[in-house]
Chains A and B, each alone.
Chain A
């Protein structure tokens, strides 16, 4: 079974600084997707960035970028120029490209709580 591990329960960063959140995963599949979701206190899960495993180029979305190391099964999120609005729980998630018994299932890590210090 696929598993996702986030080893940092909490992280903090000064406003305008850069922070990196770590994620490792375990899978025997070669084709899959990886995601970072943000969950603010409002509880709504918001997609931050996604990476297709077949793409060697790391995904970027404005201030958010990833470091995808397929061989090491590592998928870290870098937030540049941190803003107060970035404060939230961040979840790393995995999905097989192929359906699991006909279903599209996201497997989430335990989350990292990010605090932004003004």
Chain B
């Protein structure tokens, strides 16, 4: 079975631009979570979606938004990019809210 997939692998944007990151969960998984990992730090929770509804949000500004589609894939959007948004963005899926999260390979976002 395919694992969690994310696209694109790498992305370079300039300050003020908008970016959309995509995640496809493991088949049968209904929950997707997003994490931001700044270089040299551990991942920080951004969002969790389950059955297409937002179930939780971390301490991130409103410039960050996400959604989950009927096929359970998800998009993370970041508006008005700042230099500090440069990070590895990780997506994780789980079959339910209570089960283990499986991570994708991440999208490396660089903001110049």
Which A residues contact B (CB, under 8 angstroms)?
Answer: 4, 37, 42-47, 50, 91, 93, 99-111
Bound-state CA distance A48–B90 (Å) is 17
B105 touches A105 (CB 8 A): no
Bound-state CA distance A108–B41 (Å) is 9
B78 → A minimal CB distance (Å): 19
Chain B residues with Cβ below 8 Å from A110 are 40-42
Chain A residues with Cβ below 8 Å from B41 are 110-111
Instruction: Give the 4 A-B CB pairs with smallest separation, nearest first.
Output: A103-B56, A108-B42, A45-B103, A103-B48
B106 touches A104 (CB 8 A): no
Chain A residues with Cβ below 8 Å from B40 are 110-111
Instruction: Check B104 for interface membership: any CB of A closer than 8 A.
Output: yes
Consensus secondary structure, chain A interface = loop
Given A91-B42, A100-B56, A101-B56, is A106 in contact with B105 using a C-beta cutoff of 8 Å? no
Sampled A-B contacts (18; CB under 8 Å): A43-B106, A43-B108, A44-B105, A99-B55, A99-B97, A101-B55, A102-B55, A103-B33, A103-B48, A104-B33, A104-B48, A104-B56, A104-B94, A105-B58, A106-B45, A107-B45, A108-B42, A111-B42
B90 touches A45 (CB 8 A): yes
B31 touches A104 (CB 8 A): yes
Which of chain B's residues has its CB closest to A108's CB?
B42
Which of chain A's residues has its CB closest to B100's CB?
A47
